[in-house]
Structure 1
Amino acid sequence: MQVQVRGRRSAGWWITFGVIAFGTLFFVAGAIVGGVSISFVTDAERAKGTVVYLEWEGSNVSSSSKSRQSSGPTAHPVVEFTPAGGELTTFRSSMGSNPPAYDTGERVDVLYRADDPRDAKIDGFVSLWLIPLIFCGIGLLIAGIGTAVAIATRRRSRLTRSGSGTAVPSAG
């Protein structure tokens, strides 16, 4: 006869399930953001643009913090471009970095929606794919760890049960 003790084991399974669910949600969020990027790239028009200045965002923005250093505020490139058949359009990239990824005056490829040229992005890996890859990667890592723990716990549980599963009555 086997007796299953409720409590610690049950709580462990719920925690493992929660970790797997959390990782899966992260992965799904990354996949959705990646799908939005794919849709944007598929439907976007292309143009050449120029970084006209860097907009610094963050605490304690000063002239000394605008050098290429690895901490502090982030620089968001502000880009001007002319869409097909349109007038000069300016947009601020949502992706900022420190050190700045672009210099003032640098030429960049721009992707924009034909129906709304202000909805534009720099055609680069970071601005299009970094966030989806981070979310999908973290999600896979967390869900993978949770799954590995669940499998290891289940195997250990089976080994424990098979090792002491049935008692042989003593003759006497």
Structure 2
Amino acid sequence: MGDEAVEHALSVFKYGLMAGLLVGAALVVWRRRLLLGIGLGALAIAAAGLYGAGSIAVQRVIAIADTVGTQGTLIEHIAERGTDSKGRTTVSRVPLVEYTAADGRKLRVKGLGGSAPGKRPGDAVAVRYSPDDPARARVDDFQNMWGIVIAFCVFSLLPLLVGLFFTRMALRFRGLPGA
């Protein structure tokens, strides 16, 4: 259950962000339309984010249809270290879950940091895996399955609201220079 759709959505969002900024700047500088520039630029950014959310959601629904659910067992929470954008070291607790595939093999999958917070080693954890490749698995909880979709929606909400507000204002005052 790879994350090619997430990588694609992030690329689209990155280019949507650049396009939104360019469209907004072009309208502000060349056409002297500040409100319309802000509005349409923000709407372009929101559209890219909502496209990302939708494409990931569709991919997840298709991926879920081709998987098998099983009960795994939480082995432990692993401390994973990373570095944030400012160079600081961060630590997150990642659940390590063992599950048994239909062919009898015992496999392990890591969840996202912070998922399964109330679980202890030995507790049951739902897992989904591909019957064609049982090593391709994902912890079957809301954060691991749908968290990225919600994140894209949340990050698109502010640009959407800003875009709607400023575009409406631009249409209302469209006759004023620099508006």
Q: With the length of structure 1 as denominator, give the TM-score of the two structures.
A: 0.72
Q: Find the aligned partners of 1:99 and 1:120 in 2 and give their Cα distance.
A: 16
1:111 is aligned, of 99, 124, 128, to 128
Q: Report the residue type matching 1:52 in the other structure.
A: I
Q: Report the residue type matching 2:67 in the other structure.
A: A
Indicate yes or no: 2:149 matched with 1:132.
yes
Residue 109 of structure 2 is matched in structure 1 by 91
Indicate yes or no: 2:47 matched with 1:47.
no
1:120 is aligned, of 137, 149, 152, to 137
Q: Find the aligned partners of 2:125 and 2:116 in 1 and give their Cα distance.
A: 17
Give the gaps of 5 or more residues in structure 2. Answer: 1-28, 84-89
Secondary structure, in 3 states, of the residue corresponding to 1:58?
strand
2:99/2:107 contact within 8 Å kept: yes
Identity %: 24
1:74/1:100 contact within 8 Å kept: no
* Structure with larger Rg: 1
Secondary structure, in 3 states, of the residue corresponding to 1:52?
strand
TM-superposed deviation, 1:59: 5.6
1:20 is aligned, of 33, 43, 47, to 43
1:53/1:79 contact within 8 Å kept: yes
Matches within 5 A, 1:141-152: 141-152=158-169
Q: Find the aligned partners of 1:92 and 1:119 in 2 and give their Cα distance.
A: 11
Output the aligned Cα RMSD: 2.6
Secondary structure, in 3 states, of the residue corresponding to 2:138?
strand
1:142–1:111 distance in 2 versus 1, CA, 3 Å: same
